């Protein structure tokens, strides 16, 4: 077993175990913490694939940004003694069936797909200059339009949030 395979096994185990714990935990902040572990392990997986830039973005945005936001909102709204109700059998069975069906479909697709084998030795696979250029390029494989569309979406979301949070005069 090579060190890479060992790390892959560790990261996959962390991702699987903590994903299950995230959805089964009855304490909401613990669930958020488990989600953090899943996202950090996913970042580790990207490092293993030498997608350094993607890994750092995963850590900064998901682990450092979104999870912090989730924890922040839990901190503001929930009390430490609160526990989520135990779901009844009526909820567990459909949820389990949906999850199992989704897992089956994706596993079947992955097994059927023929991944082209590619061995990359050393170095980084993604070049930041390349990413930056394709992000603002308007040519083929350029992301200028999606980038701008997402900015408009974010702007709309921010304006909406401010209007919702603003005190009304009456």
Partner 1 sequence: MNFSIYDFTSFTQWIDKLLYDNLPAFWAVVVEMTIIGLLVLLFYALIGLFLVYAERKVCAFMQNRVGPNRVGPFGFFQTIADLLKLLMKELVYIKNADSLLFNIAPFIVIIASFMAIAAIPFAKGLHAIDFDIGVLYVIAVSSLGVVGILLAGWSSNNKYSLIGAMRSGAQIVSYELSVGLSLVTIIILAGTMQFSAMVEGQANGWFIFKGHIPAFIAFIVFLIASTAETNRGPFDLAEAESELTAGFHTEYSGIKFAFFFLAEYMNMFILASIAATVFLGGWMPFHVGGWEGFNHIMDFIPPFVWYIGKTFFIIWIMMWFKWTFPRLRIDQLLTLEWKYLLPINLVNILIMAFIVLMGWHF
* Chain positions contacting partner 1, by CB under 8 A: 1-3, 27, 29-30, 33, 36, 40, 52-53, 56-57, 59-60, 63-65, 67-68, 71-72, 74-76, 80-81, 124, 127-128
Residue 51 Cβ, how far from partner 1 at the closest point, in Å?
Answer: 10
- Using CB atoms within 10 Å of the CB of residue 71, give its burial: 0 to 12 exposed, 13 to 18 middle, 19+ buried: middle
Question: What is the rounded distance in angstroms from the CA atom of residue 72 to the CA atom of residue 65?
Answer: 10
Nearer to partner 1, 7 or 19 (CB): 7
**Residue of 40, 36, 9 lying closest to 25 (CA atoms):** 36
Residue 108 Cβ, how far from partner 1 at the closest point, in Å?
Answer: 34
Residue 109 Cβ, how far from partner 1 at the closest point, in Å?
Answer: 31
Residue 126 Cβ, how far from partner 1 at the closest point, in Å?
Answer: 9
DSSP string, 108-133: HHHHHS-PPP----SS-SS-HHHHHH
Half-sphere exposure for 128 (CA within 13 Å, toward CB): 5
Nearer to partner 1, 89 or 162 (CB): 162
């Amino acid at each position: 077993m090579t060190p890479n395979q060992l790390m892959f096994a560790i990261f996959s185990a962390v991702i699987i175990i903590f994903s299950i714990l995230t959805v089964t935990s009855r304490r909401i902040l613990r669930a958020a913490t488990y989600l953090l572990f899943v996202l950090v392990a996913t970042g580790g997986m990207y490092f293993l694939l030498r997608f350094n830039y993607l890994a750092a973005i995963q850590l900064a945005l998901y682990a450092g940004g979104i999870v912090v936001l989730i924890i922040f909102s839990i901190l503001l709204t929930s009390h430490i003694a609160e526990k989520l109700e135990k779901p009844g059998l009526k909820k567990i069975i459909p949820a389990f069936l949906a999850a199992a069906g989704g897992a089956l479909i994706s596993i079947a697709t992955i097994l059927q797909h023929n991944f082209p084998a590619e061995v990359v030795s050393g170095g980084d696979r993604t070049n930041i200059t390349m990413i930056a250029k394709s992000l603002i390029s308007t040519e083929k494989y350029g992301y200028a339009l999606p980038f701008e569309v997402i900015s408009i979406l974010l702007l709309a979301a921010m304006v909406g949030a401010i209007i919702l949070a603003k005190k009304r005069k009456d």
